[in-house]
Amino acid sequence: MLPSSELADEPLKQPGRSAGLLEIPRWRFLLSLLVRKELRVRYRGSALGLLWSYVKPAVQIIVFYLALGKFLRLEDSIHNYVIYMFSGIVMVNFFNEIFGNTTKSIVWNADLVKKIYLPRELFPVASVWVAFIHFVPQLLVLIVGALFLGWRPGPLNLLAGLGAITIIGLLALGLGLIFGSLNVLFRDAENFVDLIVMVATWMSPVLYTWQKVHDVVPGWLWTVYQLNPLTAAVELAHYAFWVPTRGVVPDGANAATLMPPHWIWWGATGLAIAMVVVVIGQLVFRSFESRFAQEL
């Protein structure tokens, strides 16, 4: 306990207010408990448990590959199409799970929010970690498949993969903080999020190449398309996992020709935008935080 003289010098703090995301490391033990709780609740009564992290994306990949790769013959124009598609879908699935679960995280933990004080940001951050736990098996499957097809990454490829994961994590967390706080007041927020994640796959070059967009849209719309951080993250994932696979680059071509113009700059811009979204999300979350217990 501090002496009374030192206590007098301590600045007064408003009760029930935290430093937001900056305070999360101090609560890491409770964060781990919330992650384990969420995993137990999600797989309660499930025979497969965490194996669903493999089953669901595997079925999704097979359906898309048959419908687009085989029936529409996209694999004829995109070599190693299954890796191209899988690297994008894994990233989009990661975004969708974080965004959807963080939006619902405060409502899901209404009993805790109403009864005890703890940084409310713990709930969306716990949802991010749960999504990451589900993301790792998919990433391992992607790596094994890419290795089978001759994946030989260099340092820049690995850095691009790390950048893709970082962009998606930050972007989805920031959006989750915004919609998660709004969802406490208006349950319609969940429906808006469902619409957003439904079109996320088609608003980034997951099932098609960037040339398909570049050749048909005006220049200003192409710029808007590239400013989408999810687009930048998917392209970084392509550079990380698809470009280094055997036989992707035609004879005499450069690997850079497979990527959109200025893709490194767009990736850096996507990271900056994602960081701004996190800051905005934190500000919105803090502005509504005092109403959570009352509204729930």
pLDDT digits (tens, 9 = 90+) for 164-177: 999 999 999 999 99
Q: How far apart are CA 172 and CA 175, in angstroms?
A: 5
Q: Give the pLDDT band (50/70/90) at residue 255.
A: low
- Read off the DSSP letter of residue 13: -
Q: How far apart are CA 236 and CA 229, in angstroms?
A: 10
Domain ranges of the chain: 63-295
Q: Which two tokens stand for residue 218?
A: 């005006």
Q: How far apart are CA 20 and CA 146, in angstroms?
A: 39
Q: How far apart are CA 290 and CA 18, in angstroms?
A: 11
Q: How far apart are CA 226 and CA 210, in angstroms?
A: 10
**pLDDT at position 3:** 53
Select the more confidently predicted residue: 282 or 5.
282
Q: What is the pLDDT of residues 94-149, one digit of tens each?
A: 999 999 999 988 888 888 877 777 788 888 999 999 999 989 988 988 898 889 88
Q: Which two tokens stand for residue 54?
A: 């493999």
CA 24 to chain centre: 19
Q: What is the pLDDT of residues 50-91, one digit of tens each?
A: 777 777 777 877 887 788 777 877 777 788 888 898 899 999
**pLDDT at position 90:** 92
Q: How far apart are CA 194 and CA 181, in angstroms?
A: 16
pTM of the model: 0.87
Give the Cβ contact number of residue 112 at 10 Å. 16
Who's near 205: CB < 8 A, 6+ residues apart?
88, 212, 213, 231, 234, 235, 238
Q: Are 232 and 146 in contact (CB under 8 A)?
A: no
Q: How far apart are CA 148 and CA 85, in angstroms?
A: 16
Q: Is the pLDDT of residue 229 over 80?
A: yes
Q: How far apart are CA 101 and CA 27, in angstroms?
A: 20
**What is the residue-averaged pLDDT of the chain?**
83
Backbone angles phi, psi at 10, to 5 degrees: -70, 130
